[in-house]
Amino acid sequence: MTRRFIQISAALLSVAILASCSREEDEPTNEEQMSGRWNLTDIDASGTISVFGQTVPFVTTGATIDPGSYFDFTLEPQEVDYNASATVEVSAGQDFEIPYSQSGQGTWVLKGRDSIIVTEQGETTRYGILGWTDTRMILRSNQSINFGGQQINAQVEAVIER
């Protein structure tokens, strides 16, 4: 009876190992989960702006996202195409609106589930991933935004969803 018990236990263990291996193969990689079209649904920023020779901090108080703003990540090859535009309401001593517009194409590399590295025309931008589910992602990056001929240094958080 002991020999039979060992044979049955070995068979059950083999089935469990094979089942777990096939499940792992079926699970999508992080890159596969990242690939596809994501729509920009919200944007938030903070930073500094030069006003009459003085550096003034600012924060966003709201944003209106232009319809059709997107990020499209392809898997093979790992390329990104994006067009994101919005009107961002900010407060910097007084309230005003800043037009936000970023678009381009490049390559992307995912670093675990923590960050995305995008390279465009030899320039590299790191986007930290603050949150990630199957349908929603929050990205953070440092960007320079042109506003009325001035460069605004900002930390931008973008929410993208499927």
Looking up residue 49, the CATH number of its domain turns out to be 2.40.160
First to last CA, the chain: 57
Work out the average pLDDT over 49-58: 80
Q: What is the pLDDT of residues 119-149, one digit of tens each?
A: 999 999 999 999 999 999 999 999 887 777 7
Q: Does a structural domain hold residue 89?
A: yes
CA 43 to chain centre: 12
For residue 19, what are its two tokens? 């089942």
pTM of the model: 0.78
Distance CA 143, CA 130 (A): 16
pLDDT the model gives residue 14: 59
Q: Does a structural domain hold residue 125?
A: yes
Q: Does a structural domain hold residue 154?
A: yes
Yes or no: say if 156 and 43 are a contact pair by the CB < 8 Å rule: yes
Q: Does a structural domain hold residue 52?
A: yes
Structural domain boundaries enclosing 117: 30-161
Distance CA 69, CA 42 (A): 10
Domain count, the chain: 1
Which H/E stretch holds residue 141? strand 136-147
Q: What is the pLDDT of residues 59-95, one digit of tens each?
A: 989 999 999 999 999 999 999 999 999 999 988 878 8
Q: What is the pLDDT of residues 23-34, one digit of tens each?
A: 467 899 999 999
pLDDT the model gives residue 127: 95
pLDDT the model gives residue 150: 74
- Under the banding of pLDDT at 50, 70 and 90, the label for residue 6 is low
Peptide bond into 77 cis (omega under 30): yes
Instruction: Considering only residues 131 and 19, tell me which one the structure prediction assigns the higher pLDDT.
Output: 131
Q: Does a structural domain hold residue 6?
A: no
Q: Does a structural domain hold residue 12?
A: no
Q: Does a structural domain hold residue 21?
A: no
Which H/E stretch holds residue 20? helix 2-26
Residue 105 has pLDDT above 90, yes or no: yes
Other C-beta atoms lying within 10 Å of the C-beta of residue 162: 11
Q: Does a structural domain hold residue 41?
A: yes
| Residue 38 burial (C-beta neighbours within 10 Å; 0-12, 13-18, 19+) | buried
